[in-house]
């Protein structure tokens, strides 16, 4: 018999299935109830449906997680695309519309496109940029490139994925899509092509590079003859935080993740374990979806994929598990060229003309008709011209800037993730990643069955060694480097002495090879929480790498300190990490900055200086965590958001004690006292009780979500490893802090004896983006209760947890 929970899950699964798809539903007890037909009739339909080019079997387990089995990579991609379309139709379709350069056609040119990470531009600006890519056939040329382009298996996966999406939409039709975000939309009638998806993949690669500058690229125009330009900047005259924000590294709104790998010497099992938690948007293009991809005897990997990715991006197989964190490395360098007037500039080969192209974008007019708008874009051989005065890169009468983008020169990302799924240990994982050469903008942290723990930043990085940067930086380029670690190079010599270098082991020209990228394999533990590569383990700092990758001997965020201390404190107590203790760190919800500020009673002392007795009592009684039941934490969150840039600590950062400094709150600093007063006043003005439970204030804010209470809070500044943020809020606005960003696909993987894998996961916002689906909030409620999904990985586990099984053809 079905339990009520399993029966509800089965009904939810079957509502997704279009008529004509072969279905077999199986209960955990082994019975095989069938949706809509007797077993014999269902068996007949399954085996006599006209065979198509693709075939895949999709088994959904509790929470709607698809386990896709096929005989080839093309079939596997087909099943993945079909399953993704069932639960994420609207995001998938939106991704394809964006990749075609048709946002203005469907949503109007003045509408905005915010990917919730770095790209925030008008539909017209996005379309103009993408249309120029299409006109120059950028992706088509990469597809034809045997070095920079994808391999046979990746192509098969992408081709199958789009066929799966098309098959699903052909079955249900636009009016059969139940998600209100795109129900009945005209763009759902356009068949997806592999090229559409490849453009979507390509644009995701540009997330930390050209994608940051879409506005500045599309709006760039030649200066007037009397344009005075900007005075030569100095480091002291520039707002560093605003500069970093404009470069895609906003200190107040970071994007990133945590990952901790424990080696066999520090585990109770003697084998590797991994805790990974990427912090990404809860809405839109960069949501994750969970899946398992299996070709029996050949390929078997599970985990999470960004919507639109046919391959697992973060996950595990039977021998190795990995996660990713956004790297500090830059993916581009700006080049500054001396302008000779108009669209001419100087090189060591003489004056040159900018490549000027006019693109035509089809736009939706107010009355619903279609019109055309023209935009002009400019390039040098290195890349797009930008006009960004706020970033010290204006197009003036004296100079013009262009961006060379390393990720714009490759289409190897799908290959890289696909091949990582075949790894047998962490060394093999890194070898496969390096051979792929397409890890776009993230670090990798991994653990294996043999008890090894890996940290590596072997991502795509422009090959600009410090010596080359020093030789080629212009005066303004040097200021960029001083403030942001980004060398601005002399475009005069961009094709000669200031061109990017190539290492003997580079996967392709212009990027660092593995030998010049940081990595570390240990038997105890490593971690990363979006600080630079320097300190994956304090016992073995990594030093001697190029500044464009990140800083060395530099201060760590409170979140890095917290993630490290979870492991350090456990080991210091004389206990090794167990599978339960490691995954327990995710929901411990310690607050590092709170722990540091409370030393010697400093936080109470600071609050007492304000004279706010009621608020200070609530802060004193705070349990020091960001649990849903914690009271008074909102006062600390408000304080953290108001800390001055200087004068917070009496003991400064010490490179010899990087995970315990800075410390000692300067309770006599008038700025800090004022910050505390303002924090309290802000809560009072909004009628938020000082002793309200955190879970009544910190609630789910993804599309259509009820206000489910959540633990966790601000990451870098407060030191929450369970980092949650409220950005671009649309739902639950009546609550103090609707969460739209942060902890997403969390996985705790432990390798056990006898070849077993203990896989626990939680997808914080649920498998389905459709708010009408029961899989939209079920895992959110579990996350609220600090629970885990036992991810079914083996065939026996899948059979036990099965709620539906169906075969799809196309």
C-alpha dist (Å) from residue 663 to 620, 672, 723: 19, 14, 21
Residue 550 to residue 328: CA distance in whole angstroms: 5
Rounded average pLDDT over 2-31: 41
Tally of residues, the chain:
810
Q: Which range is least confidently modeled, 9-18, 212-221, 510-519?
A: 9-18
User: Is the model's pLDDT at 469 over the cut of 60?
Assistant: yes
Residue 205 to residue 188: CA distance in whole angstroms: 25
User: Is the model's pLDDT at 63 over the cut of 60?
Assistant: yes
Cα torsion through 363, 366, 367, 373, rounded to 10: -30
Instruction: Find all residues with CB under 8 Å of 726, minimum gap 6, and list them.
Output: 701, 737, 738, 739, 740, 741
> Of the candidates 638, 554, 645, which has an alpha carbon nearest to the alpha carbon of residue 242?
645
Instruction: Find all residues with CB under 8 Å of 486, minimum gap 6, and list them.
Output: 247, 330, 333, 334, 480, 548
> Tell me, what's the pLDDT at 52?
60
Q: Which range is least confidently modeled, 154-168, 245-259, 313-327?
A: 245-259
User: Is the model's pLDDT at 210 over the cut of 70?
Assistant: yes
Instruction: Find all residues with CB under 8 Å of 11, minimum gap 6, and list them.
Output: none
pLDDT band for 6, please (50, 70, 90 cuts).
very low
Residues 397, 227: contact at Cβ < 8 Å? yes
DSSP class per residue in 696-747: GTEEE-STT----B---B-STTTT-SSBEE--S--S-TTSSEEE-EEE-EEE
For residue range 675-715, list pLDDT tens digits in order. 999 999 999 999 999 999 999 999 999 999 999 999 999 99
Residue 664 is inside which H or E element, if any?
Answer: strand 663-665
For residue range 139-191, list pLDDT tens digits in order. 999 999 999 999 999 999 999 999 999 999 999 999 999 999 999 999 999 99
User: Is the model's pLDDT at 276 over the cut of 80?
Assistant: yes
Average pLDDT, the chain: 93
Residue 482 to residue 561: CA distance in whole angstroms: 25
Asked about 399 being catalytic, the answer comes back as: no
Share of the chain above pLDDT 70, in %: 94
Vertex 464 angle, CA 461 and 465, to 5°: 115
Residue 60 to residue 47: CA distance in whole angstroms: 20
Structure tokens at 418: 């696909």
Choosing from 209, 257, 726, 743, which is the catalytic residue? 257
Residue 748 to residue 583: CA distance in whole angstroms: 6
């Amino acid at each position: 018999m079905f339990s009520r929970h399993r029966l509800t899950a089965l009904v939810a699964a079957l509502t997704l299935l279009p008529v004509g798809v072969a279905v077999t539903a199986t209960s955990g007890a082994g019975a095989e109830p069938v949706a809509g037909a007797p077993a014999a009739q269902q068996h007949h339909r399954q085996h006599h449906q006209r065979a198509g080019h693709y075939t895949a079997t999709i088994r959904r387990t509790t929470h709607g997680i698809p386990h896709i089995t096929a005989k080839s990579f093309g079939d596997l991609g087909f099943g993945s695309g079909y399953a993704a379309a069932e639960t994420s139709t609207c995001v998938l379709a939106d991704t394809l519309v964006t990749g075609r350069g048709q946002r203005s056609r469907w949503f109007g040119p003045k509408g905005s496109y915010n990917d919730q990470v770095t790209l925030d531009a008008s539909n017209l600006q996005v379309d103009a940029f993408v249309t120029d890519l299409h006109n120059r056939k950028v992706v088509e040329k990469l597809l034809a490139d045997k070095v920079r382009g994808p391999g046979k298996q990746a192509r098969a996966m992408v081709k199958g994925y789009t066929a799966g999406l098309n098959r699903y939409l052909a079955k249900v039709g636009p009016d059969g899509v139940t998600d209100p975000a795109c129900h009945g939309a005209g763009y759902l009638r356009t068949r997806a092509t592999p090229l559409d998806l490849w453009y979507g993949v390509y644009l995701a690669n540009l997330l930390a590079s050209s994608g940051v500058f879409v506005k500045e690229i599309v709006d760039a125009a030649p200066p007037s003859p009397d344009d005075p330009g900007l005075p030569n900047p100095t480091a002291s005259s520039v707002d560093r935080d605003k500069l970093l924000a404009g470069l895609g590294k906003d200190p107040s709104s970071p994007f990133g993740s945590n990952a901790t790998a424990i080696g066999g010497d520090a585990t109770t099992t003697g084998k590797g374990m991994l805790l990974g938690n990427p912090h990404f948007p809860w809405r839109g293009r960069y949501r994750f979806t969970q899946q398992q991809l299996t070709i029996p005897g050949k390929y078997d990997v599970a985990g999470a994929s960004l919507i639109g990715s046919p391959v697992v991006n973060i996950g595990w197989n039977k021998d190795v598990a990995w996660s990713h964190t956004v790297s500090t490395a830059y993916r581009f360098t700006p080049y500054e060229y001396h302008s000779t007037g108009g669209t001419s500039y100087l090189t060591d080969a003489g004056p040159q003309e900018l490549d000027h192209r006019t693109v035509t974008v089809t736009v939706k007019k107010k009355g619903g008709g279609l019109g055309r708008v023209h935009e002009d874009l400019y390039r040098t051989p290195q890349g797009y011209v930008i006009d960004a005065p706020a970033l010290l890169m204006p197009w003036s009468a004296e100079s013009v800037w262009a961006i060379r983008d390393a990720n714009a020169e490759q289409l190897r990302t799908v290959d890289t993730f696909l091949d990582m799924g075949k790894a047998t240990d962490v060394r093999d994982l890194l070898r496969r990643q390096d051979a792929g050469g397409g890890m776009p903008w993230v670090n990798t942290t991994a653990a294996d069955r043999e008890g090894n723990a890996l940290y590596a930043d072997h991502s795509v990085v422009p090959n600009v060694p410090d010596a080359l940067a020093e030789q080629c930086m212009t005066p303004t380029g040097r200021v960029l480097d001083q403030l942001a670690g980004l060398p601005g190079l002399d475009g005069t010599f961009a094709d000669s002495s200031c061109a990017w270098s190539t290492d003997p082991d580079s996967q392709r020209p212009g990027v660092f090879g593995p030998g010049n990228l940081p990595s570390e394999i240990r038997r105890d533990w490593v971690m990363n929480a979006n600080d630079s590569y320097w300190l994956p383990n304090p016992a073995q700092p990594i030093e001697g790498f190029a500044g464009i990758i990140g800083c060395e001997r530099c201060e760590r965020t409170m979140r890095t300190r917290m993630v490290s201390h979870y492991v350090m404190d456990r080991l210091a107590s004389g206990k090794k990490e167990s599978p339960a203790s490691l995954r327990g760190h995710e929901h411990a919800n310690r607050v590092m900055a709170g722990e540091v500020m409370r030393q010697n009673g400093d936080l109470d002392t600071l609050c007492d200086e304000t004279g706010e007795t009621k608020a200070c009592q609530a802060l004193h009684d705070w349990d020091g965590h960001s649990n849903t039941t914690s009271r008074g934490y909102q006062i600390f969150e408000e304080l953290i958001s108001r800390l001055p840039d200087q004068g917070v600590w009496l003991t400064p950062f010490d490179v010899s004690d990087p995970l315990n400094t800075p410390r000692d709150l300067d309770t006599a600093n008038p700025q800090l006292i004022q910050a505390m007063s303002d924090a309290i006043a802000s809560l009072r003005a909004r009628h938020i009780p000082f002793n309200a439970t955190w879970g009544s204030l910190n609630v789910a804010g993804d599309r259509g979500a009820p206000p489910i209470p959540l633990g966790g809070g601000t990451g870098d500044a407060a030191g929450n490893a369970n980092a949650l943020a409220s950005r671009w809020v649309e739902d639950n606005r009546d609550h103090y802090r609707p969460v739209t960003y942060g902890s997403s696909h969390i996985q705790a993987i432990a390798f056990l004896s006898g070849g077993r894998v203990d896989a626990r996961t939680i997808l914080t916002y649920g498998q389905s983006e459709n708010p009408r689906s029961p899989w939209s909030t079920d895992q959110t409620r579990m996350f609220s209760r600090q629970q885990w999904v036992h991810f079914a990985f083996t065939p026996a586990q899948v059979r036990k947890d099965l709620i539906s099984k169906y075969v799809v053809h196309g």
